[in-house]
Chain A
Amino acid sequence: MTTPDDPLEPGTPGSARFRTREAAVLRTEALIAPAPALGLCVFDGPNDPEPGIELRDGRVVAIDGVREQDWDVVDAFIAAHGIDPVAAGEAAALDDLEIARRLVDVDTLRDDLVRLGRGLTPARLARIVGLLDPVELMFAMKKLRARRAPANQAHVTNRKENPALLAADAAEAGLRGFAEVETTVGVARYAPLNAIAILVGAQTGRPGVLTQCAVEERRNLQLAIQGLVTYAETLSVYGTESVFVDGDDTPWSKAFLASAYASRGVKIRFTSGGGSEALMGGAEGKSILYLEARCLAVIRAAGSQGVQNGSVSCVALVLSLPGGTREILAENVLAAWLDLEVASGNDAIASQSPIRKTGKLMGQFLPGTDFVTSGYSAMPRYDNMFSGGNYDADDYDEWLTLQRDWQVDAGIEPVGEQDLLAVRLRAARAVQAVFARLGFPPVSDEEVELAAGCKDSRDLPDRDRAADVLAGDRVLAEGISGADVALALEAAGFRDIAEAILAMQRQRVSADYLQTSAILAADGGVVSAVNDPNVYTGPGTGYRLEGARWELLQQLPHVQSAADFAARPAEGPPATADARIAGLGESPREVVIAVGPAFGAALRETIGGLEHGAVVQAVIDGITEAGAQPRVVRVRRTSDVAFIGHDGARLSGSGIAVGIQSKGTTVIHRVDLQPLDVLELFGQAPLLTLDSYRAIGRNAGGYAVGERVGPVPTVLDNYARNKHIVRTTLLHARETAEVVPDAPAVELLPG
C-alpha cells in the first residue's frame, strides 16, 4: 500500500519482491485498521464502561457504571446469578495490576483466583486479562484450565451423510483419543441417523467417547431424550441485548434450555466467541474482549459447566484486527478464570496460511485447554460440513509431530494404518448391522469396505437419500433409543460395542458427567474438574507429558530406529579390500584418492545412493582423463573429510589428493595447505552424481599436472541439510566407529 508519505514517484518501477508477496495466499485475507464504532477493536472500545460495582445490603445494584433501572437483560442476568458479593468485596480491595500478576503467579492457587473471579464485573475481567502479554496469557491458561489433562474434540461429517463413513471416521477419532465427537447434518432430517452412526462408530473406536449432533435445539433435545447423543454445545449467547434478542433468545430462555438438557442427562456447553456482535451489527461500539466477558459472565451465571469460545466461527474477523490472536487467547483465559470448561475454537479456518493459523494455534496448543480444538476435522476438509477443517485428517502427521516436538499433549494419539483400517471396517460393519436390524435402508458391503479405506465421500456410491431421511423420521416417531441400538448390536454379535453403548446410557443414570470438564476414560471412569482438577503451582506440578503417555505420543508410525535409518546393511563382498600399508608416492603426476575408514566395507554407498565402487571409478576416470595417475588409499585414523584429504595429500607424489568420506562428502586437498583449508569442498553430498565425481577427479588431476583449473560447478539446495542431516549424522557415526586411532593409511585394491 502506498501512503501519502510514500517517497515512490509515480511511474517508478515497483518491487518484484512485493509482487511475489502479494501473490501469497496470506494476502487474500483482509487486514483492517480498528473501527471501534463498529465493535471492530479487540481491547478498550470507546464505549467500554469503566469497571465498577456497587452493592447495597449484599445485593448488586450497579455494574460497570450502569444502575439497576438501566440494566439490559445481560447486566440484569449477571447481577442476579453471576456475581458473588463476598468475592466482589474482596476484589474491590485489589488493584487491576495486582490481580493480573496473581494470574501468572505460580504460588497463587487456581481456587483463589477462581474465587476472586466470581466477584469481578465483565469490564473489570476484560481490563485485567488485557494486561497480560501473549506468554503471560499462555501461562495463565495453563494455570487456570479446569481439568488436569487437556483433551480434544473431533468433527465427523461427510457430504453424502453416508452412515458407514460417519461410523468409520468416528471410530478412527475414538481410537486416536478424541474425548468428544461432534457431527452435524446437511439435511436436518438426517440428524437421527447421523447421531446413531457416530454413536456406534465412536464406541467402536473407544468406549466412553461423548457424542453430539449439532442441530436445531428442539430436535437436539429429542435426540438427547432418546439417548442418541450425550452432550450439546449449541447454546449460543451474545454480549449485547440487541444481538441476544436477534438470536431469538434471552439469558433466561437459554438458561432454561440448559436445565432442560441437564434434566435429560446431557452434558451441555454454551458457545460464545468474540466478533459475533460486530458481525451481527450490534456491538454498540464496545470492544470484542469486553463483550466476550459479558457472554462468559452470562454463561457462568446460567449454570453452564463450560463454554466453546475463542472467537470460534468469527476467528477470521478477529484476526483482521491488530492484536486479534492475543485477544482470542484472552477470551479462553477469561473462560477458564470463570471456572468454565473451555473448548477453545481452532475449528473454523483461522487462516489459509499454514504459518499464520499455526501461530494462532500455539496459544491453546502449548498451555493446553480442556479441548484444544472444538472440532478437529477427523476427515479431509472436503467432507467437513461445519465449514471447518482448520486442521483435518490430512494434517494428523503435522499435529502429532508438533506434539512430539514440544513434548505437549494436545489430545491426539498416533495409530498405525492396519489398526485404523481394522477399527474403521468394524465400525462400518456395526452400523451396517444396526441399519439392517432396525429396518433402515441397507448399507452395502461395498459401502462398508470403501468407508474403511477411502479418502473421502466422493469414493462412495450415492445412497437413496429419500429413503434415508424417512428412516430418520422413523427414529423420532418410534422413539428408537440408544438402548435399541445396543440391542441391535448385541443381536448381530457386536456384544462389546453394545456394552459400550449401554455404558453410555448408564452414565446418564449417575449423571456424573454433568460436572465441570467431564470426559470419560477408556475404562468408563468419569474424569472431571471435580475428581481430577488442575492444580498447577509451577515446575513439577500439574499435568506433564511424561511416562507411558509421552512414550505413546512419540511413537508415530513412521518413526525409524537410528540403526535402520543409517544405511542398508552391508551385503555381499565389500567394494574394496585393504592391502599393504601405503607409502609415499613417487610420481609427480600422482593423485591419491583417500577414502574414509568405512568406505566400501562397513558402508557401501553414499548418502545420495551412489555405490562406492562406482564413485571411486568415476574419480579414477577423471584423474586419468586429466593425464594424471590415480592411487587409492584408505585413511583409517580419522573420519573427518579434511583430514582424510590431507592425509592423502601427504602420501601423494604430486601433493594433490581427493578425500572422500563414506557418506560421499569430498574435498580436493594439497599437502602444503592447513588440514581445514582445502582447494575445493563438495559439502552437499546428496547432490553429487557420478559425473560430479568424475569432474572432481579431472580437477584434481589438473592441479597435479599444473593446468589452470576452474572449480567444479556445485549445486545448492537449501533443503539438503534439512532432509539429510539425520542420515548424515548416523552415517558419520558409523564411519567414526571404524576409525582405528594412529593406524597408518593402507593401499586399496578393487574388491
Chain B
Amino acid sequence: MDEAGGTPRFDPLRDYPLGERRPDLVRTAMGLALGELTLDGLRDGAFTAEELRATPQTMRLQAQVARAAGREPLAANLERAAELAGVAGETILSIYTALRPHRSDAAELEAWAVRLESELDAPLNAAFVREAAAQHGRRGLLRR
C-alpha cells in the first residue's frame, strides 16, 4: 500500500499480467475499467470500439514490466508506442513514409521532429526521428 493507504504501488516484477493482477490500474481513455467492457455494455452504447485500446499510461506500465525483465530495447519501444497511442493513424503512416529511404530531406525530417515534440507530445519519437535524420544523412539515404 502506498503512504495514503490507497491503491498499492505498481510493482513491475509482480503485477504482470496487468489485466489479471492489477485491473485497478487499467483504464480506457474514458476511464472505464476492464470489467465494464462487456458485450451488453457495447450493445447498449455504454462505450464504443474506440475505447478498446491501450492508453499511453497502460503502455508505460508495460514498458516498466519489460524494463524490469531486463528488456531495455522493448521497454524503449513501448515508451515510443505510448507516445504514439494518441496520434492519428494517418499521421503515423506519414511519419513512417518520411523515414523510408530517400523520402525526405533533412529539413523535412526535422519538421516532423519538431511537430512530434511540440504538437504531439512525443519527445522520444522526436529524438528518434532526429537520430534517423543524422544517420540517413551520413549514409546518403535522404531524398536526393
B-contacting residues of A (Cβ < 8 Å)?
72-73, 76-77, 80-82, 84, 111, 114-115, 217-218, 221-222, 225-227, 241, 245, 248-250, 252-253, 255-265, 300-305, 339, 479, 481-484, 486-487, 490, 495, 498-499, 502, 505-512, 514-516, 525-526, 528-531
Contact = CB atoms under 8 A, between A and B. Distances in A.
Given A250-B136, A508-B53, A510-B18, A487 B43 contact: yes
A253 B54 contact: no
A320 to B, nearest CB: 31
B54 A509 contact: yes
Contacts of B37: 502, 505-506, 509
10 contacts: A73-B141, A241-B139, A250-B141, A260-B96, A483-B48, A484-B49, A499-B39, A506-B34, A510-B58, A529-B69
A82 B73 contact: yes
Contacts of B20: 512, 525-526
Contacts of B10: none
A713 to B, nearest CB: 71
A515 B63 CA distance: 9
B92 interface: yes
Contacts of A253: 96, 99-101, 132
A590 to B, nearest CB: 83
Contacts of B82: 263
A506 B49 CA distance: 10
Contacts of B132: 250, 252-253, 256
Interface string B76-99: 111011111101010011011001
Nearest to B21: A531
Contacts of A514: 62, 78
A456 to B, nearest CB: 35
Nearest to B54: A511
Given A265-B54, A482-B52, A499-B39, A258 B77 contact: yes
A512 B38 CA distance: 19
A302 B77 contact: yes
Contact of B77 (A304, A479, A481, A483): A304
A80 B134 CA distance: 12
A256 B131 CA distance: 12
A262 B63 CA distance: 11
A509 B74 contact: no
Contact of A511 (B42, B59, B71, B73): B59
B100 to A, nearest CB: 5
Given A263-B81, A510-B54, A525-B20, A300 B73 contact: yes
Contacts of B81: 259-263
B100 A483 contact: no
Closest 5 CB pairs of A and B: A303-B77, A510-B19, A252-B132, A262-B81, A263-B84
A76 B141 CA distance: 14
Given A241-B139, A303-B77, A486-B42, 10 more contacts: A72-B139, A222-B89, A249-B100, A263-B85, A263-B92, A302-B73, A303-B76, A481-B52, A486-B39, A507-B19
A221 to B, nearest CB: 7
**Residue of B39, B58, B76 with highest tally of chain A CB at under 10 A:** B39
Contacts of B89: 221-222, 225, 264
Nearest to A511: B54
Interface of B: 16-20, 23, 26, 28, 34, 37-39, 42-43, 48-49, 51-54, 58-59, 62, 65-66, 69-78, 80-85, 87, 89, 92-93, 95-96, 99-101, 125, 128-129, 131-132, 135-136, 138-139, 141
A495 B40 CA distance: 10
Contacts of B95: 256
A514 B53 CA distance: 12
B129 to A, nearest CB: 8
B62 A512 contact: yes
A303 B96 contact: no
A511 B77 CA distance: 13
A111 B38 CA distance: 39
B125 to A, nearest CB: 7
B70 A114 contact: yes
B49 A482 contact: yes
Contacts of A508: 52-54
Contacts of B71: 305, 339, 516
Contacts of B76: 81, 303
Given A263-B81, A484-B49, A512 B72 contact: no
**Residue of A115, A258, A487, A514 with highest tally of chain B CB at under 10 A:** A514
A258 B79 CA distance: 12
A115 B71 CA distance: 10
B59 A516 contact: no
A221 B93 contact: yes
B139 A73 contact: yes
A421 to B, nearest CB: 28
Given A258-B77, A263-B92, A250 B39 contact: no
B75 A303 contact: yes
Contact of A526 (B19, B49, B66, B83): B19
Nearest to A253: B99
A490 B39 contact: yes
Contacts of A255: 77, 128
A511 B93 CA distance: 21
Contact of B74 (A80, A115, A516): A516
A481 B125 contact: no
A115 B70 contact: yes
Contacts of A499: 39
**Residue of A77, A248, A255 with highest tally of chain B CB at under 10 A:** A255
Contacts of A73: 135-136, 139, 141
A621 to B, nearest CB: 77
A510 B49 contact: no
Contacts of B138: 76
Contacts of A506: 19, 34, 37, 52
Contacts of B93: 218, 221, 260
Given A264-B53, A512-B17, A249 B34 contact: no
